[in-house]
Structure 1
């Protein structure tokens, strides 16, 4: 195959990835008729129909599917070869398109890309912050950062770290004093505010039996007090974040027997940024990532509930569509993102899943 036919193969893969001749023409800087002509020439050369074209979408034939799978392998090899030649000159080149949730923008993504761009001035970035998972193939994305266990097994995933969620509220929340009065739950608020796991047993407090006193049969020390606190928590308005569907279910540590709490949210948000803003405004109690609200906690704009739910850690993964040859520029950015998670103290860097 000569260079002319190789470019036709790459254009064919771009048409499939973009989903239409018009979009492929726009991305490749060609006219729609030129793209159509080159596809027709490729089909004539191979003696097989590759695409079934309708007014609304393109559908791959069996031959087209086979060529596309092999073409993508070649495309990765081609891009890797170009990057290897550039790396020999001492610099990475090319563009990276990345999507990520708003919760990690300020604390993870921004400092990571600042250092990355300084180190690799010939690489450009297109950033798409989104709390909704985007299709990497259809959107032609190089990289996606997602919270929670990945569901798409066709993508390569790399664990970067974890995020800790904190149940928090604003002092402006009506009834907030019921969560921060003198009768604190049987836990250590300072440990929670610092993003640490709460103690299951704390020092004796007003309303709790002392270590010398025998609690009622079948009751753990501090359990009644914690139950009373959760009743106050239940009566206040709650806010659901994008990843929380249906009723909100929380399990709270209380001695050896965790306590459950089920509440119906007054407000549902489809944006983590908006959820953060509404909690700040005192419109509800929210379960927000600690990296997102760290400054708010330190400066008193938000307060952590003295009793925190279990299951606060959520894994963060990087996903990409490359099967074997990951572009050097993407590998370099992944390395910097892993380092940023370590520097932020969230968790150890992960390994490929």
Structure 2
């Protein structure tokens, strides 16, 4: 006669053995699928997870001659150094304002454009709008900044020539700190508006047409159909994109900011990414550990913001990333 506790252990062991048997059977039956899966899994392990071992340099005084493992451990000294630099709050403020400004400007416009294209009566017109709006996305960042320099140049720029026709003095747009954020954000919206619309057009295509047919029979206008059918239908996609964008609240990408940056607008254009680039790569004595610590700080804050925004979105709308 067996005790209840022994029987429970035996049942758990039998369950594990059964699961292993089923797994072996599935692998043997569908080995081709597992073989296809092996390549991307190996890619993730080698190029995404294995390099994470190098994050330990954020807690060390990294010396290339001694290597990662041989460099002395300094704990949180690199983080403490970043938190106490005199530009800390200015850099954080510039980064947060630039990202949230970009998020506020870039979130509703693709939805509006997608709805407009979806309801366009002439298919040739909607296709033409799509092509014209998608095209700027494929222009490189360097070319975009070069175009901004040509258009906004205080001496030869097209915009200032137009101002001069009406007796308005030339404006050094890229030299004014107060104008930097507006130029950066709205040039980015213009460049990525059409491409961002693709996601919402795909979501609109997945809405059941019978809902629109019933609404038309009931006499609903286009605006009413947008409000009560289309917007609720694409809301889960919009929420997921919003949550993912929240994870980049401290990450702007340094390329465009660095190219638009100059000594005159530095008070509003210096963000975390450009600061990391300057201290980690562009300085005469690269500070790898210091730059890695700042990067880890960005990642930690981004992960926290994703978790918070997902919880808030799930509580308010009932849908989230997980």
Query: TM class by shorter-chain length?
Result: under 0.3
TM-score by length of 1: 0.19
Instruction: Report the structure, 1 or 2, having the larger strand content.
Output: 1
